[in-house]
Amino acid sequence: MAIADSSLTRVGNALILRSIPALVAAVVITFSRNHAAVVGLTVFVGFAFLLASTLIFTVMSVPLEGLNRTLVGIQAIATVVAAAIASATLTGGLPSLLLVLSIWAGITAALELYAGYRESNRTVAKEWLTIGGFTAILAIIEAVVPMNDVYAVGIFGAYAAIVGVYQVIAGISLRSDAQSTTRKVSS
């Protein structure tokens, strides 16, 4: 088992922490009157830097083994690079937004899906596969569907809201699974 049942609490905490950047991005986009590409890129920069920080925290604090630790680390690096590219292309308009979002989402979705596929703890694997699936859908929509600024930014906001809420629920669920496992063992 790559993640011991006793570590589920830490994985749950990491997912809850990871939800914060997504929920902040969702709130900012939802309550912003301006859905121009520059706003989407700016929100993505903040989201990505915060997300990379939480991924680095996950690598350092959660007992991931072997390749999964490396995959989460690569996800953090890819997210920082995407944030840097987004901040360098703030005035690039809709093409920059679509390109940055779709490439970032494609890379991180592939990494998340592969980590979930490799994870032997099926509870954790299910959460990673679901998050990777949501991110893959974002990548496909942003890359393939013809959009204007409002749709592109709005879809990113919707993705952030869905993933943020899902990660909170998944984190709480993993923590409660860990507590029930601990109670069963101690009984």
pLDDT of the residue at 184: 56
d(CA 55, CA 119): 17
d(CA 114, CA 129): 8
What is the pLDDT of the chain when averaged over all its residues? Answer: 91
d(CA 68, CA 74): 10
Which residues of the chain are modeled with pLDDT < 70? 1-6, 178-187
pLDDT of the residue at 20: 97
pLDDT of the residue at 183: 54
DSSP 33-83: S---HHHHHHHHHHHHHHHHHHHHHHHHHS---THHHHHHHHHHHHHHHHH
pLDDT of the residue at 1: 35
SS3 string, 126-182, reads: HHHHHHHHHHHHHHHHHHHCCCCHHHHHHHHHHHHHHHHHHHHHHHHHHHHHHHHHH
Closest CA to 97 of 52, 30, 172, 44: 44
Alpha-carbon distances of 93 from 39, 79, 81, 175, rounded to whole Å: 10, 20, 19, 42
Q: Tell me the HSE value of 101 on the side-chain side, using a 13 A CA sphere.
A: 36
pLDDT of the residue at 180: 66
* Whether this model's pTM surpasses 0.85: yes
pLDDT of the residue at 160: 98
Contacts for 33 with CB less than 8 Å, ≥ 6 apart: none
Q: Which amino acid is at 147?
A: M
d(CA 171, CA 178): 11
User: What is the four-CA torsion angle of 162, 29, 56, 82, rounded to 10 degrees?
Assistant: 110
